[in-house]
Amino acid sequence: MALDAKELDRLLEQAFNEGTRLYQERGFQRRVGFGSRPALVSVDLANAWTRPGNPFTCDQEKMDGEIIPGMQKLLRTFRAHKLPVVHVTTAYEITDRNASFTDMGLWHDKIPVDVVNLKDRDLWAIDSRIAPVEGEYTLLKKRASAFHGTELAGILRAAGVDTILVTGVTACACVRTTICDGLADGFRTIAVKECIGDRVPGAVAWNLFDIDAKFADVHTVDECVEKIAALAG
């Protein structure tokens, strides 16, 4: 019998409601809140993840029906208020798994990062439906977190950013580690609910529940748009 992803999410929500009660009794799930200058950090919404036919392809129903439309709405808001946007993608220059030296490190021993070769620009290019515009930055990372070994924290601080709205894929890996590192680096962290996806049923619901308890505030797209408009006004 095929797994009904929507039914799984419903059952997980019931379980997490009880988990929420336990966490709140113990002082978890506090609010980090928005600061005064937010930036949008969009993680791995590139073709290898957003389009079908790749080992990294994510849930296409959610991608086309929620993530991309949600991102389009967020981008309109950030652009209208001239706030920083960083598009993050992942690719590798040395993808020979037998090479004695490679920018893949050891990650290829766990997952097929070797399929995302820097030469195949279309694979790691940001999805055309949410393509960067002039004045936005595209950051190339090599590890799960957008902060690990990159210039991200520095360019955000130089722009006076104190809050990051994190979107993208996957909830259990690159989005989660970016949020954790963002908080550790002193940024207020907001996870945008409809704009975070994964490949595996239940992964988004579980990770957003746990992230909201420990590492970031989870908000809907509409809540984020409303908050940004209020900050800018």
Instruction: State yes or no: is 174 an active-site residue.
Output: yes
Strands of 163-169's sheet in order across: 137-141, 85-90, 38-43, 163-169, 188-197, 217-219
b vs e for 73-83, b when ≥16 Cβ sit within 10 Å of the residue's Cβ? Answer: bbbebbeeeeb
Q: How many CB atoms lie within 10 A of CB 24?
A: 12
**And the tokens for 101?**
């030296």
- From 58, 174, 180, 195, active-site residue: 174
**Residue 186 CB contacts under 8 Å (≥ 6 apart), including other chains:** none
Give residues with Cβ within 8 angstroms of 159, minimum separation 6.
37, 39, 84
Q: Which residues are catalytic?
A: 174
